[in-house]
Each structure stands twice: as C-alpha cells, then as structure tokens.
Structure 1
Amino acid sequence: MLVSIDRRCIKLLQELEKETEFVSIKSLSESLDQTRRQTQYDIYKINSLFEFDKLPPIEAKQHKGVRLMDVHREWLKDLLDQENKKEDSEYNYVLTQEERCAVIICENVLRNGFSTLDDLSEQLMVSKNTIFIDMKIVREKLKEYNIECEFISGKGYLINGEELEKRKVFMYYISSIYGLISDGMLDYLQDEDVKRHIEVLHKIEEELEVHYNKGIIEKLALMLHFSETGENTKWNFPQKTGSALVCVNIDHVCRSHVYGIIDKYMKDRSDDEKAYICIHLLAGRMNKEYYLYNETEEIFEELAEKLVGYFETLVGVTMDKRGSLIEDLTQHLSRSSYRYIYGINDGSELETIIRREAEELFNVVRKVADRFSHDIQCPIDDQEVAYLAVHFSSHMHRTSAKKYRYSSMLICDESEKKRENLKKRIEDNIPLIQIHEVLTKAEYTEAEKNKYEVVISTEVLDINDGYVLISKKFDNTDHINILNEVLQSRADEVSSLSDDLFDQIKPYIQKKQVGTVRSIVDHFFGSDQNSTLTQLLTRERVKCLGDKDVSLSWRDAVFQAAYPLLADGSINRHYIDSIILNVELYGAYFYFDNGVYLTHAKDTSGVFRSGVSVMTIPRGINFPHNKKIYILFVLASVDEKEHFGVLKEILKVCDSKEKTEWLLEAQNEDVLYKNLRMIAEKK
C-alpha cells in the first residue's frame, strides 16, 4: 500500500530530528514559519502515519513540548535514504490537484510543442483520467489570462498566447510551487540546463554588484529552461494605451546598464526576452522614467474601490474609514501594478510574517485578490496578497488592546526634503505607522523617545527597545523589520494589560491560589479565549441533510440551513432572501475548494440576534458557477467585530479537506454538533 506524506510533515520531522530535547509547539511553529494550529495538525497527521506503521506517536509532555523517539529517527532516515536513492518506497510525496495543475502549466506554457495525456500521466504518476480532469482546470485557469489550451486529436494539448501573458502566468505558478522545488520534491534545480542558467544569472548579479532575494535568480533560470523562444521571437509589450494600468518603457529599459550586462551573457535570447529579464532584475530600482502610466490615474481609484467592495461583500461588513482605505489602496496599486503585469516577485519575507500573524485575514484577502485578478487579467501571487492584507488590516476595527496606528518618530540626518520623502514612503508602505515627528540625531533626546511607541532611525541610537534601525533607501528588509517591531509592540500591550490586572487583584487572593488565578488571567488575555463560534452555534442549529433531500435546489438548501435561525427568532425571512439575492448576484463567493460555503448577507436589517447554523449535504448540491456544496454555514451577526471574529473561526474549522470529510461522516445532528465543537475548541 502506498502512503502519502506531504512536504510540511517532512519539514517538521526534519526540524525535530535536529533536537534531542523537547521542543515547544510555539518554537517549532516559528522555525517552520507556520501557525501553531498548522503545526498541531501536522503532528496529528504524522502520528496517524506512525500508527499505520505500528510505531508509537511523537513523544509529548505538557509544558515541555514534543520530541522524536529513536524509532522515529530511524524511520525518517530510511524514508530519506529511499528518496535519495530513488528506490521504490511505500511512502511517496503525492502532489495535490492544485500542485499538479501548477506543474502542468509551468512545464508547458512556454513550450511550442504538444503534450499528451500519456506523457503527463507518466510524469505526474496519476491516471490518465485524473490528468484529463486536471487539464479541464488548467484550460479554465489559462483562459482567464487570454491563453488558449487547445486539444488536437492524435497530437495532444497545445498552449497558445502572447509571450508576455505566458511569462507572467509562468512566474505566478512557479512561485506557487517554489516551496516544492526548493525542498527537492520537484528536482528542477538539479537539471544541468537549469544550473547553467543559474550560473549565468549569478554572473550578472555579481557584475551588477547587487544581491537578489532568495528564489529570484532560480525562478528566472527555470523560466529560461522551460521556454523555447529563440532569437527572433517577438513579444507584444503593452504600450501607453488604455489596455494596461501601467507599463514599462522598453526603449528606456534596453538603454539601461543592466540590459547591457544581460546582453553580454545572453546573446542567444531575443531582445524582448532580455528586456523582460531586465525588468525583473531592475524591479524596485526602476524610477518613474521607466514607466508609461495610463493616461489617467483615476483607474487606480476605481480599482481600489472594487477591491474594497469585494472585501466588504465577502466579509459582510462595511470598512471603517472606507475613504481612507481606498486612498491608501489607490497609492499602492499605482506603485505595484507593474509587478502584476510583468509577473515580478521580489522575494520579500512579508508573506511569511502575515501568514503567521494574521492567517485568517490573509486567507480572506487571498479570495478577494482571486476575484480582483479577473478584472485586471493578471494573476496576483501570495506576496502581493500579503501587501494588500497589511492595508486592509490597518483599516479594520480593533479591540481596546490594539491601536489603529502606532505613533512613531523618525530620526534621519539627511536634508529636510529627503527626511520628508522618507517619512511619506514609510507611511505609504506601512499604514500601521503614523510618524508624528522627524528629527536629526543631534535633536533627539531620551525624553523625545518616551513620547512614542516606535522610533524609526537611519542613524545608530543607544536604545534597547521600541527602536528600528533602517537604511536610507527604505527597502524590503526595513519594511519587514518595522512590521516585526509593531507586532512585538502589540504582544507587549496585551501582556501589559494582563500584568496590570493581576497586580490590582493580587492583594485579595489567598497565597495558595495565586498561581491558579495568574493562569486564568493569562488565559483570558492570551489566544485561548473561548470560541465565539461555539457560543453562537447550538445543538438546535445544526442539521444533517438526508439522502432523501438531495433533490433540493440550492435556494431550498439555503432556506433549510438558515431555518433554525429563523425558527428561534434570530433572523427574519428578509435576511434569508438577502442571502439568496447575494448568491444570485455574486455566485457562491465565499466558497472553499473543499466543498464548504459560508453564506451571509451585508444587509443585516433582518438580524435580531447573532447566530450560526450549519447543514451538511453528503451528496452535495450544485450552486451557481458549478460550485458543489457539501457543508453550508449561515452566519448572522449584529456586531461587525463579532462578525469578523466568527468568520475567522469558521475559516479555521474548514481549512482542510480532512476536517470537512470528518464533519460529513457524522450520521446525525448530535455527532455533527460534537465534532464541530471539538474542531472549534481545539487549540
């Protein structure tokens, strides 16, 4: 029997294998750049695999953490040895459908030849029927970006489209599977041709006297490897017309010093392809002379309004200070849209930080970006989603423990004009920061520092905390360092509230109870607060739809799922009609790929009391746009903060196929309710 193990589980085992002592879940999660919930779930999957192999589970001790036993270390060594020797193994990393589709696109979108079902089936180690289904998805994905995937009987699949369109789609999908590539699950980087391209690009990098972030050189090398364009291939670069948001002045690019160095090492490539590589290597160093903007910048404001509208529709709330958010997004899009158009990824670590610190918000903005990408006909990668998430986060309601913007001071020994320009760039790029004062190092005093939560300085200062040293050019590293300081400040605020409250009540606590009460206070201010979802979801609000009801229409399914809330007076019929109207207008817009749909309405006039109801549909019901729904959540809320909090919890409940399959296995409402609570309350 072939047992699959995914990349995250292998990385977790390798991380534990380095340690002989117990490792806390928090420390392990930070090492893996993932959330505690993801780490706990990976451990659960690994233990299931160990159980299959008749091995004990990973050793775990309360307040200490987890560690591998000797038998686990031997098991892992055998697994990796088999993989390195390419021997037949009962364990295999199996690509998901999403990963397979990305591989198919990356390996074929830049080719001029045909790909057959037999070739793809053998290469990806799945059946021809599976590949046939995958190709339907691939054709739909490419169609979104005006790229045609044509099937010709007796020959196979052939992909046709404009070179630039194909390049930006390639860069999007190669970024999506780059983790598999860098971990060796896909052995692209071992190919001699790829190594040759990497060597050439590193020579260019060395001659330019710059250092590119991890992955940039490798992704460009892979693009060169998979492309079959020759010296005479002509591209259709966008010009200064209404067809593009912003485009790069190719003539200016071709006159640049960077292009000259690229031309020196890549004589066999077309001028247009060399220009495209030059745009990637220039990236953030291009000044406004390189750009040809759309005739009017009003288009960026219109697109920003669309983004906000999609977010509000998806989440079901109206954004606080909506106009300010639109203004910030307008500026962001005017500066960033060239990255969408040319498929540029600058290798920033911001995505990792946002995924770790605000995973649920990132997932929501990811869905918004997917819809927005259809409007601009450009794929938007996860790095760009992280930038958008920062803007949305800064304009959302916060609890009293979190401030809207962090008061800051900037220290810089440049001219007044340069200091003001730097201040504007920081505030534009990090909406969480508000700089109230700009001083030189000579003007700065300790008293000044105490007025502000964060001091940002281009000069070295004798400060231990609340201080970020940045470069005068303000690059991605500086961006990340400031965000890290803000996130640490947030954590300190919550910790301070906990300490202050405990100090107030400590005199009234018996000595033997001090430890217990301290734990309760920390628990309240920490991340282990009771789930709002479990408070709003009662046993009477869950329903298992039987096989006899599979003939229902999707409208009937919405009504049945919402009926418990109607019956207990939480909502009226108007709210259900608003939900149905939303689906009619927008489709199943909060649909999860694992068959879960969260439905709610922005019009809350029919909501009298907050509540959540759930209905499982074992055989599924087709919703508009060919979305098959197996689990239907209905959310009604009278409070926007509560609404978003519950929405985030539902995202966690439904964030994996394994969880949804477990919920669908419930044969009655009692079991379904119990399983929902177990998932929601699992820490």
Structure 2
Amino acid sequence: MNDRNIAILTEIIKHPDIKSKKIEAKLHLTRRQLSYSIDQINTELSNDNLPTLQRTPLGTILVSAEIINYFLKDKINGKQKNVYHTEQERCMIIILYILTANIPLSLINIYHLLGVSQATAAKDMRNVRILVSKYHLELQNSWQNGYLIDGNEPQQRFLINETISNLERYDDSHELIANLSDISIDEMIHFVRQVEQQVGISYSDNAFNHLVYSLLINISRNRANKTANDNYFLNQIADTKEFSVISKLVNPDWVACQSDIEWISILFLSANTIRGKFSFSDYTILKAIKEMVSSFEQKTLVQIQNHEEFEQRLLAHLRPAVYRVKYGLHLNDINTSQILIKDSQYEFLAASIRKIISPLEQITGKKFPENEVKLIVFYFGGDLENAKNLSIIKPKAAVVCTNGVIVSKLMFQNLVHLFPEIAFLSATSVRDFETFSDDYDLVFTTVPLKTNAKQYIIQPIVSPEDAIKLRYRVLNEFGLKNIETTLDKIIQIVRKHVNSIDVTGLKGDLKQWLSTEQQTYSIQKELPDLSDYIAPQLMCLLDKKVDWQDALEIAAEPLIRSGIVNQKYLNTILKNTESEKNYSFLGSQIAIPHTTAENGILNDGFGFTVLKHAVKFPTGQSISIIVPIAICDTKKHLRAIEQLTSIASDAKLIHQIISASDTETIYQLIKKKEKETAIDAN
C-alpha cells in the first residue's frame, strides 16, 4: 500500500466521522484522487478477504470493526498491515536489519519485525532489491545464509548513512533504530560526548543525534562480522585528531579492524560542528577559506569586519562539508530554513559562492553539490548575524522518572516543550544516568540523584503555575536568560512615562510573560481524546470501604468484562502495586495502574473507578480515583494522557468527580474538561 493510501486509511480509522472533503483538504487531494485511492484500498482489502470501505450519503466513509482490528492488533496476531509505517519507511528498516543482523534472516524474520503480512513483506523485499541496486549493491537470498546485501563495503556504509538520514524524517525513527541494536543509547551518548571533549569540538544538536544513531548501526554491523574486507577504508584519515582520540576511546568489542575505527572517525569528521579547536592538519582547509573570503570581498564589495574570527567560524562549519563531499556522505538537515533569504539576495549570494568555491573543490577533488553550496551561502549570507545563532551551544539535559513508561514519556515531552533552549538527549533510568551523569549539564528528576550535574527535582506532572516557576528558576540559575535584569530595565522605562504604577504587580505579570517567552506547546489534535477510551460502561462508582487489592479488582473488572484485558493483566498490576516503590500515580489522588501489552492487554481502553472512601495504597498515598490503563501503543494515547494529567492537577474538578452521584455525570465532567483544555491550547 503506498504512502497516500496509508495516510487516507489511517485518517478514516482514527476519525470514523471524518468526511471526504476534510480528507481531501487535509491531504491536499482532489476528489478524483481520493476516489482512485479508495478504489485501490478496497482492492487490497478484498485481496486479504476483508470488507471494503463504504461511502455514505453524508460524505463519511464506513470502515468495519474487522478492518480496524486487523490493522491495529499487530501485537496480538502478528498479521497487521502496518498503518503507521509507510512502504519507504519499512524498506529502510529492512535494509538496516539485514546490514546488522548476526543471524541468517528469512522472510519470516522480516514480517515479524514489521508486523505485516507475508505478502506485504515479500513486496517490500522487491522494493529493497531495487533500492540497494542504486548503490551498486545486490540483495541475495539463500537457504543457508538467508537475506544478504552483497557488494563493496564502503557502498554498504554509504547506504547505512543515507538510510538513517532519510529515516530520521519519521517521528519514531530513533526508537526503530535503537531496537536493531543491543548497545544502549546512554552508552553511545557517552562515547560521543567523550570524543567532543577530547577533540575539543561541539556538534550541532541534529548532528549529535545523527551521530549517536549512525554509530549504533555501524557498530552493530562491525559486531555482526558482516564485513568481508578488513581493508575497506584503510589509511585514509588516520592522520586526523579524531582518529587518534577515537582509537583510544572506542570499546574493543565495537571494532574488528583499523578500517572500522577509520569509518567511525569519518562519521565524526563529517558531522556538523558549531565550534572547535582545530589542528595543524586543517591548515589546507583554512587556507582555502581565506582565499574564498578574499574573493568574496572582491566580487561582492562586502567587507568582512573581523577576518580571523569569521574564517575560524567558517572553518568549524566547512571542515565537515569538505569531508562529506570528499567521501560522498549525506548532508543532514541543519535547519537553514530558519533564516529568511529573499530570492534576489539568495541568488546573488549563491552566484557569488559558486564563483569562489574552487579552492575547496581542489581539496575534495569533486564538485560541491547544490545542497552543500546552499550551506555555504547560508554562512556567508548577510553579516552572519543570523548564522551566529546556530553557534549557540545548548546545555544538554537528561530526564529521570521512576513513574513508569507512560508518565516518563509524558514528562520528557512536556519538558522539551517547556525548555526550547535546552537539548534533551534522553529519558533514562536512575542507574544509567548515574553511570553516565558526566555527559549531561543538568537533569530533571523525580528523585534525588548522585551527580555533579545541576539537578532539578520535580513532580512528574507539573501544573501550569509550577511550570512557569520552574522555567523562571532554570533560565536564571543556568544563565540562559537573565529575567531579573530584563525586568529592572523594563520597570525603569515604564517609570519615565507613567506617574504611578503598581511595581509589584507589574513585575509579577512581566515575570510570567518573560519566562514563558518562546515556549511552544504541542497539542496533538489528531489523536483520540480521553473520553474516547473511557466509555461509560468502563466506569464505576464505589460507595463502600475496601482495601487497595479489592479496589484494583473492581476497577479492572469492566475492562475484563469488555474483553479489553484478561486475568493476566489484573495479576500483573496487583503485583506491581504491592511494591512500596511503585509510582503509577498522577497527582496525589489518582492511581494509573498499567503494564505492557504482552501482560494480558487485548485492546485499548481506560477504566475509571471513583472511590467515595479513599483507599490507602502500599506507597502510603490515599487514592480516590483509579484509572487502569490498557494500551498497545503509548504514542497514540498521548493526548488522552495529557488530558488525564490536566484532570489530576485540577483540585476543584477532582472534588466534583468524587462528589458525583452517577457515572454519567462523571463522564460529562471529563468531556467538559476536554473542551476547556482545547480552548486553552488554542
């Protein structure tokens, strides 16, 4: 199924009431294109002995429960046609899988990895064969060795590089790549940070992340003994500082030969840097840059104010470009789109750069491709005032949360939105963080940690008021923004023009505004609401005293009765809740017992049990609301979790829910809160 058809079917499954016109507008389709795609979808559904999509006079498209179950229950029956991975994405995952697997791979391995049908996997393999042939490689399959990609080793490494670059356009790419390796992300982050520190350079945020995941795949290939020729990249960059440092730092289990070390080094050398200390071996590049700057001034009559500083800054940016062009590596996105260049100005600069780029092309022995020329135009553009913003190194942060995977993911995402000035690298465990704590400048954590990094101990769920206070505190303490100085200057200006002002009140309002400046909150409008998962038949109102075990059983019973979970789910959450270290809570009064899909989850749904008499849990918390959560994919439920979090932080609403006399009233209170949250977000 192609990308367009997948997108259409996904929209219909997510939004059963969506009308054809809205699909056309959202996906930029004509009526004819939509009709053609639906015909194609119906053909494929018929081939799989499934009911077809049916149009209604109201403009909606009916999709049967059988189709929804088939497409969304891949973790149960393993037969799903993957709605959330396009053909291109699946092909890229397969390529990385074949290039790194340490066992013979059959078609069974492929379709189990992707959760697709055997027919779909076979079609994907035909696409993979075509794709790898563009790199002068061949997809082979034999009974003894399974699927292999055969051909020149550097070409296979180039294929890895471009596959990861293209895969990173997808939201779940990092998770998919990580699942192909048994090396921890924290260990790889630590390795990149060590190289940064010992070489004396700093990578851009995008380059840092790309490095981590490229290394993960390349090292996995080394460990799988896939390389036929040990001298595939020998003595090409062994004279660089990166090679010298990496040779000492690299884990011996990660490499099998010097070429492996050199290839790891070229990944570092070609990654975008924003500043660094460079060695004498870089003099040739610096000399070429000096020639370019001189020619640029002569041809454009633009005067560069500080030549030495400007040339050093260009060296930091163009040194990786030289290695990329010389060795044919892919340029990753550096977000040059954030700089607005008028067409006429851009063309003027681009034409000038093309005339002066020859000194760099003499070094590489190759013509610079257009995307690399655009990068150079960007750095030369204007007075480089805007480009200097890219040289700002963001502090690197970790998130440590002991409240389980759902709350941990939510906490990480909320902090990313709250602090755009900070580069959040990972959500990690206490043990892993304390092992690699030197790799981070600060950490947001739910428990005190043994670390020299600046730590902020916070609740997993932070109210809007507390979020503002946290942002204000972090920005000031970490030196990211001096709000107090800004406030004082504003007050001085206002005093000149106003006879009488409430300084305390004005300062408070300004403080809130300044601390939330540049904040962006992402509301996932396309995801289901909380009320979509809390159906009235899954709710319960209990007006008798019980212990926590009975309360959990009562809360889970509607889910079991509805076929959403089985007894294994109940047994698992009972066992997890016994621990005094269990942190499956939102706020002070809501418990959210949950587990992973393999522990008895058959479908999606949230229970919602209100206890008129609070129950004391093993952790000592008095709980009045229990929301047992059963989900197969936490990404699809983020909006619902955010809305549940909003309820947990609303003391007045919690009181109304506990005081309600029936479940219908509670359900309507939840719906009302959803609407209020949507209005606030807008």
TM-score (norm 2): 0.34
TM-score (norm 1): 0.34
Larger radius of gyration: 2
